[in-house]
Amino acid sequence: MKLTKQILVTGSVVVGLYAAPALAAAEEHGAANPFAGDLGNAIWTLVIFGIVLLVLGKFLWKPVLNGLQSREEFIAKSLRDADAANKKAEQVLAEYQAQLDKARADATAIVEEGRRDAEAVKRTIQDEARQEAEAMITRAKREIGVARDTALNELYTVGAKLATDVAGKIISRELKPADHERLIQESIAELGRTDVSTN
């Protein structure tokens, strides 16, 4: 309705603008001025103006108004659609950002778990190596002790045998200082041979 009034006012102004030069030209030539007080011309002008308005209203204004209204509705719908698309895009962006944040958190957790696992494996390997080294040291000490005991046992056996042999030799004959010296040298040599043969 408001648009119809605007079109009527605009149409009146346009008719007035087109009529003004024609009236000025008619005045110069001495023609009758419709606004000069001639009632018949004024009535005919108003009747023609009314007919023009009716014809324009019936055939032109409705299609123009319908076109303008459909254009207004199209623009409003486009704005609504753009607003909805913008909101949807913001929602999708927020979802992607949340997924990206979750992926970052998951990656950080995986790296941290890998670091913890590596530390646990490192500690396990160190503990196993320490236990193995301690076991080797214990085994080596035991083997050294067994070897020492065996060597001492053999040494005592050889010493006792040598002492018995020397005593037997001493008893079987009387020793002179030279014999005594010779027996000591023989015992030392025999002790050396026994050590070599046991190794």
The per-residue pLDDT for range 16-47, each reduced to its tens digit, is: 655 555 556 556 655 555 455 567 777 888 89
| Domain total of the chain | 1
User: Has residue 8 been placed in a domain?
Assistant: no
Give the SS3 label for residue 35: coil
Q: How far, in Å, CA of 122 to CA of 107, rounded?
A: 22
Q: In this prediction, what percent of the chain has a pLDDT beyond 90?
A: 22
- Evaluate if residue 79 carries a pLDDT over 90: yes
Give pLDDT, residue 9. Answer: 59
Residue 179, in any domain of the structure: yes
Pull the structure tokens for residue 193. 């041979």
Q: What is the pLDDT of residue 155?
A: 75
Instruction: Give the model confidence (pLDDT) of 149-186 as tens digits.
Output: 888 777 766 776 676 666 666 665 555 667 667 777 77
Residue 89 in any domain: the answer is no
Range of the domain at 161: 150-198
Q: How far is CA 4 from CA 46, 57, 193, in A?
A: 19, 9, 141
User: Does 165 fall in a domain?
Assistant: yes
* pLDDT-based confidence at residue 62 (cuts at 50, 70, 90): confident
Q: Does residue 122 lie in a domain region?
A: no
160 lies in a domain? yes
Is 151:143 a contact under the CB 8 Å cutoff? no
